Amino acid sequence: MNSVAIKIIFQVFGGLGLFLYGMKIMSDGLEQSAGNKMEKIIEALTQNKFFGVVVGAFVTMIIQSSSATTVMVVGFVNAGIMTLTQSIGIIMGANIGTTFTAQLVAFDLAAIAPIAIGIGVMIKLFSKNEKVAQYAEILIGFGILFFGMDVMKDAMKPLREYQGFIDLLSSFGSGGFMNILSAVFTGFAITAIIQSSSATTVILVALASQGLLPIEAAFPIVLGSNIGTCVTAMLSSIGASKNAKRAAMIHLIFNVTGVVIFIVFFRTLTINIVKGLSDQPERQLANAHTLFNVTNTIMLLPFSGLIIKLVEKFIPETGDEKCKYSELKYLDDRLLETPSIAMVQVLKEILHLGNVTTKSLNASKEAILGKEKILAKNVFSLEKRINVISNLIVKYMYEFSGRDISSEQRKIIEGYFGTVSDLERIGDHCDNIAEVAIFKYSNNVSFSDSAIEEIEFMYERVTKSYLQALDSISTGSITTARAILEREGEIDMLEKKLRKKHIQRLNEGKCGPSAGIVFLDILSNLERIADHASNIAFTVIEKNE
């Protein structure tokens, strides 16, 4: 290999690195600035597959990677919060969204790249506003992206002197079946190795801009890259649920089917259309990429139900899968790649933990006022679930904290750590009450009617505060959180009042010492539960103020 070839390889490698780094910075800035919109869009997901196409296209335009979107969808399906019917529209839309990158780099904007970098850096260095800094990152990424593109274009100029290389590329578009197949495989292999169809597209655009890659040769390579982008999602589905594997296979079947249809029926027609739209080879390539993905979606979307049935034949459901139970409902490691969406899922999982803790609180009341030990054992079982869920959420949040997230997201996640701890401690106090219930059963302890009424009233006040705490987590309502803090003083006074009344009953001989110990333990644990509800309220107020 001569020095010229080595220089070309290094320059292309460096240019590609700059392009990918610029795309990462730009997509991170876009994602952070559009984070709330992405949350609302994901929240609004319905069974409407046409809306799913729009969602998939939009999210992919933001994160600049159809592979990342599909991996995220696999995560949603694996977590059980998205059905295959919902996922198929998003997967198809992701293919459309990824063509945005091809359209963008087909423009010759290298001249303004240094200006964009300069302005972006100046804004980021001197602006203290985080939102403005995010926009600055978009500018910096945009500039680096096109600077890397320009480096690759310059690196490929000498290749115009190598007739053998030109003949090799031209052979891809000669029309022979094996040549077309070779071109498709080339696109597949490059994308599978780089794990980015956008990177493959930008290399092709750089070649096309130097007149080295006519559209006849470029188009089958682009088709192959659409199959190669499925590799990331397929790898991501390893070890996931069968439904997640089905989502990844839907992506593969959809893209392979589209490629086969276009090679057999629409290859010549597509080439003629894009030639009619533009004389520039790089613009022809970008338009062909877009035309393929839009047309493929229009063609195959009506058959999405059939595709799902086909995938379910390939990966059938088993009896074990139907009975499988997962403690976590909303979290999946794949979602960490999109922090704004992972944040939403963490909140949902915390509310799920809260619902399990609600069951434990209700079960503890039944245990202490009931007459069967099995009621206390229900609390013990729920406590184990609470511990497992809270530990898994904390582990997930540690992973999240290690990602490149905004200061606002970091502040929110720090508050969530405290909230999870409070919910777990509430579960511990419910467990303590169940232990007291066991003591009550074993020692035949009974309460007077007035003691039972007081316990029920204390439970009512504490439960109200706790449920309002969950509501304030969900809605972010400061009004609700403040109501909890106001009631906290009332509960403290109530606990002291009931304690005093019970001691009076003890002195009057209306109840025995064992009943007194049990009663006071119940009051103490319920008062501590109210304290933890107040802690949650403080966190909500701090977060929203």
pTM score of the predicted model = 0.67
Q: What's the pLDDT at 430? A: 92
The helix/strand count (H/E) of the chain reads as 24, 0
**Which amino acid, residue 1?**
M
**Which amino acid, residue 298?**
I
339-544: which CATH number, 3.40.640.10, 1.10.645.10, 1.10.3720.10, 1.20.58.220?
A: 1.20.58.220
- DSSP string for residues in 244-255: HHHHHHHHHHHH
The residues, any chain, with a CB within 8 Å of residue 408's CB and separated by 6 or more, are 130
Task: Give me 416's structure tokens.
Answer: 């969530």
Determine the Cα–Cα distance for residues 231 and 429; give it in Å rounded to an integer.
Answer: 48
Q: Structural domain boundaries of the chain?
A: 3-320, 339-544
Q: How far is CA 120 from CA 117, 123, 149, 353, 509, in A?
A: 5, 5, 18, 42, 79
Q: Are 141 and 116 in contact (CB under 8 A)?
A: no
Q: Helix crossing, 49-63 with 3-33: angle to 10°?
A: 120
Q: What's the pLDDT at 322? A: 43
Q: Are 34 and 112 in contact (CB under 8 A)?
A: no
Task: Give me 527's structure tokens.
Answer: 């008062």
Determine the Cα–Cα distance for residues 199 and 206; give it in Å rounded to an integer.
Answer: 11
Residue-by-residue pLDDT tens, the chain, 545 positions:
566 667 767 777 787 777 777 777 776 776 666 555 555 555 555 556 777 788 888 777 777 667 777 777 777 777 666 777 778 888 888 888 888 877 877 777 777 778 888 888 888 887 777 777 777 888 888 788 777 777 777 776 666 666 665 666 666 666 677 888 888 888 888 888 777 777 788 788 877 877 777 888 888 888 888 888 888 778 777 766 777 788 888 888 888 999 999 988 888 888 889 888 888 888 888 888 889 989 988 898 888 888 888 888 888 766 544 433 356 778 877 778 777 778 888 988 999 999 999 999 999 988 888 777 777 888 888 999 999 999 999 999 998 888 877 778 888 888 899 999 999 999 999 999 988 888 888 777 777 778 888 888 889 999 999 999 999 988 888 888 899 988 888 888 888 888 887 777 766 666 666 777 788 888 899 999 999 999 999 988 887 76
Q: What's the pLDDT at 173? A: 61
Nearest Cα residue to 50 out of 90, 10, 77, 19:
90
